[in-house]
Amino acid sequence: MKILSIESSCDESGLAVIEDGREIIFNSLASQADIHARFGGIVPEIASRQHLLTFPKLLKDYIENSAPHNNIDAISVTYGPGLAGSLLVGVNFAKALSLAWDLPVIGVHHLEGHIYANWIRDGQWDGEIRGDPVLPAVALVVSGGHTDLVFIETHDRYKIIGQTRDDAAGEAFDKVARILGLRYPGGPEIERLATQADKPVVFPKPAIKKSWDFSFSGIKTAVLRFVQKAEKQAPLDDMLKINIAAGFQQVSVDTLAERLVEAARVFGAKSVILSGGVAANQALRSKVLELSDLPLWCPKPSLCTDNAAMIGARARFLWDVGVRHGMDMDAVPNLRMPYDIGAE
């Protein structure tokens, strides 16, 4: 079964065709990162206009360079969470294709998509091609907008066991990068600097007891205070910036990895899953591998960050459990995970 999938929740326009939720037939992505970098973050109005200009080009490219579209079985699209204007462009594009080609359309939750990047047989972070993640699993979804710890029992039965109480992990990387005068997106920049550190600055770990929740604003404020104090003496030199970046990365990665591994133990998971843009961070993967005996699934970096392939992967399993959306599907900027059995 082939699903054409569309991703437009933030600043990446993605169009992919995925077979059986696992094989990539076609995968294109147009990043707007350079456009938004000038502003130090995403400008929603510019993001939605860029999607509008980009999707026809991606579709033309698919039609001209790949097998004809008449062997596509369904359309899938991210319908939330994300930026309203950006989501609207993708949802409308998907509906138009569904009408034109007379195909069913499946709306996908963006974060479920991130998790299902691990079902794609395109090489994991270590280049290995693995089978499906072993369930039950505990997944950590760490992106620019979310930090969610999810216990997955089956494809349609899971619950969120922890979330961030303030900033998302990726958001903290982006904000700290901004404090240090680095470009957007900040995660890759911080990781690049951290590898050159000789004496990482030690920042305190956030303390949230009796809960699986996360908090990152305290770490971010600690970095800001440290920088403001240091700048009273002299402008930050390059080595101090590197050591601040490394210290921030270390405390963030340790916090994320420790919670993930502990949750997997308590919930009796058979595997641990990393996903979302911050999962591209090598220090995070290394820390999880160091702390856990369970097998780790984590996509290769290009499938950790936003892409349409992961949306097609998740859509395949939603199809199996009967999920279909009609022409009344709307963009839902604050969409919750629908199978949150914890809310029962």
- What residue ranges bind Zn ion (CB under 5 A)? 143, 306
129: number of Cβ within 10 Å: 9
Find out whether 148 and 141 touch, Cβ atoms under 8 Å.
Answer: yes
Tell which one of 145, 162, 247, 312 touches ligand KG4 (CB under 6 A): 145
Q: Is 163 helix (H, G, I), strand (E, B) or coil?
A: coil
Find the shortest distance in angstroms from Cβ 62 to Zn ion.
Answer: 22
Q: Is 140 helix (H, G, I), strand (E, B) or coil?
A: strand
Q: Which CB, 118 or 305, lies closer to ligand KG4?
A: 305
Question: Binding of ligand KG4 at residue 278 (CB under 6 A)?
Answer: yes
- List the single partner that 145 binds among Zn ion, ligand KG4, none, CB under 5 to 8 Å by kind: ligand KG4
Question: Binding of ligand KG4 at residue 276 (CB under 6 A)?
Answer: yes
- Which amino acid type is present at position 41? G
- Chain residues 75-134 in contact with ligand KG4, contact rule CB under 6 A: none
Question: Binding of ligand KG4 at residue 280 (CB under 6 A)?
Answer: yes
- Taking contact as CB under 6 A, which single stretch among the options 64-72, 200-208, 222-230, 274-282 is the one that binds ligand KG4? 274-282
Find the shortest distance in angstroms from Cβ 204 to Zn ion.
Answer: 29
Q: Which CB, 185 or 218, lies closer to Zn ion?
A: 185
Tell which one of 305, 313, 335, 339 touches ligand KG4 (CB under 6 A): 305
- List the single partner that 280 binds among Zn ion, ligand KG4, none, CB under 5 to 8 Å by kind: ligand KG4
12: number of Cβ within 10 Å: 22
Q: Which CB, 72 or 194, lies closer to ligand KG4?
A: 194
Find out whether 113 and 310 touch, Cβ atoms under 8 Å.
Answer: yes
Q: Where are the alpha helices (DSSP H) in the chain?
A: 33-37, 44-65, 84-101, 110-116, 169-179, 186-194, 217-233, 238-266, 282-291, 301-304, 309-320
Q: Which CB, 148 or 306, lies closer to Zn ion?
A: 306
Q: What residues are paired with 152 via a beta bridge?
A: 137, 158
* Angle ∠(90,94,97) on CA atoms, nearest 5: 140
- The separation between the first and the last C-alpha atoms of the chain, rounded to the nearest angstrom, is 33
Q: Which of 30, 84, 34, 19 is nearest to 60 (CA)?
A: 30
Question: Binding of ligand KG4 at residue 185 (CB under 6 A)?
Answer: yes
Count of residues of this chain found to bind ligand KG4 when the rule CB under 6 A is applied: 19
Q: Which residues bind ligand KG4 (CB under 6 A)?
A: 10, 143-145, 170, 173-174, 185-188, 191, 276-278, 280-281, 305-306
